[in-house]
Amino acid sequence: MSLMEDHFLLQPFTTTTSSGENEEDVGFGPSDSHSFKNISIRFLSIFFVAIISLWANYEASKGFEINIISENHETTASSRRFNLLYVSNDKISRVVLNTSEFVENILYPPNESHVKKTITRVTVRLADQNLSNPVVVNHQNEGEFELNISPSLLLLEEKINMDKEIVMAVQRGMARVWIWSYGDYHGVPKSLIEGMEEYVVGNSVGFDYHPSLLNSGEKKLPADSDKTCWKDNNPVNVAHFLRYCEGIKSGFIRRLNQGIRDRWDEKQTLDDALLGISSVKVCADYHSSNGMVLAG
C-alpha cells in the first residue's frame, strides 16, 4: 500500500466551517491531488518527449556534427565580436547549416543518384592571426574538416558588411568541404577545384561580386593555361567558364563533381560532364564569345 493511500486511510472525515460564513470548505482531497499530479507528470513527459524528438530531428537534419571553438574570446576585439555575435547565440552553426545545404544543392542532384561525400564533423574556429584568405580549410580525419576564419573579417566597421563577409567565408569553406577530391587531388588540377569553389560562391552572392570576364576589350589568358580554361591561374576565370558550361548542359557541375570523385582524365572527365561535347571546343567557343584570345 502506498504512502498516499496510508495517509488517506488515517484521515478522519471532517468538515471545516469558516467563521461567520458557516460554509463547508471543500478542498482537493488526496485522490484529487494524486490525479492532478498524474496529469501533470503525463503532460511534462509528453512535453519533454516532444522536445527530445524535435532536437533529434534537428540533429539528424544536420547530417554532421558541428563544433565551434572560441578560444581566448576576450583578448582581442575580433574574438570578442565573434563570440558575442556568432557564438553566444549559435548563429555561426546556423550559417554552417544554411551554406552547407546551398552547396549540396549545387554539387549534388536531389534524387541522390550521385554518391555524396561523407561529412561527419565540421569545426569552426577563429584563427589566431589574420589569414591571406578569408577562410582556410584543414582536412583532419576521415570526414572531418576544420574551417579557420580570418579575424580581419570581424574588424569591418559596417556590421552588414561583416555579416556578409562571414557568410561568404563559411560558404567558401563549405564548398571546399563538399567538393570531391579537395585536399587530395588525385591528379585533378588545383585550378579546377578552386574554380568550382568560386562557382559556388558566385551562385551565392552573384557573379558580379568580383571583376567580371565580360568587360569589353580583348583579354589574354596566361600562357601556362595550356589552352584549357580549367587551368587558368585565376579561379574566378575558371568559375565563369564553369558557368558557361552549365548553361550549355544543365547539370554539368554536378556531373563534374561526381567525375572527379570517380577518376580524372584530362579531357574525358570534362567531356563526360558535358555529355560528350568536346571541352576543348567549348573552351575555344567560350573565349571567342567573350572576345578573348589565347596567349601564344
pLDDT tops 80 at residue 59: no
CATH class of 57-178: alpha beta
Kindly report the pTM of this predicted structure. Answer: 0.72
Please provide the average confidence, as pLDDT, over all residues in the chain: 78
Tell me if residue 17 falls in helix, strand or coil. Answer: strand
Confidence at residue 204, expressed as pLDDT on a 0 to 100 scale: 85
Tell me the three-class secondary structure of 259-272, residue by residue. Answer: HHHHCCCCCHHHHH
The C-alpha angle with vertex 102 and arms to 101 and 108, in degrees rounded to 5, equals 80
Pairing of strands 144-149, 219-220: unpaired
Grid coordinates standing for 115?
554518391
Is 89 or 290 the better-scoring residue by pLDDT?
A: 89
Residue recorded with cell 561523407: 118
Taken as a whole, the chain contains a residue count of 296
Between 73-87, 92-106, 136-150, the lowest mean confidence (pLDDT) is in 73-87
**Residues 132-168 pLDDT 10s:** 999 999 987 889 999 999 999 998 877 888 999 999 9
Amino acid at 90: D
Residues 174-189 have a mean pLDDT of 80
Gap between the Cα atoms of 122 and 117, Å rounded: 13
Q: Phi, psi at residue 128, to the nearest 5°?
A: -70, -25
Contact 259, 193 (CB under 8 A): no
> Could you state, in order of their start, the residue ranges of all structural domains in the chain?
57-178, 182-296
Tell me if residue 24 falls in helix, strand or coil. Answer: strand
Helix 190-205 / helix 91-107 crossing angle, nearest 10 deg: 110
Going by C-alpha positions, the residue among 206, 230, 249 that lies closest to residue 287 is: 230
**Residues 216-235 pLDDT 10s:** 334 445 544 546 899 998 99
Residue recorded with cell 482531497: 29
The beta strand positions in the chain, using DSSP E, are 65-69, 121-126, 135-139, 144-149, 219-220, 292-293
Going by C-alpha positions, the residue among 211, 210, 225 that lies closest to residue 286 is: 225
Residue recorded with cell 563526360: 272
Q: For residue 145, list its beta bridge partners.
A: 122, 139
Amino acid at 1: M
pLDDT tops 70 at residue 242: yes
Residue recorded with cell 556534427: 65
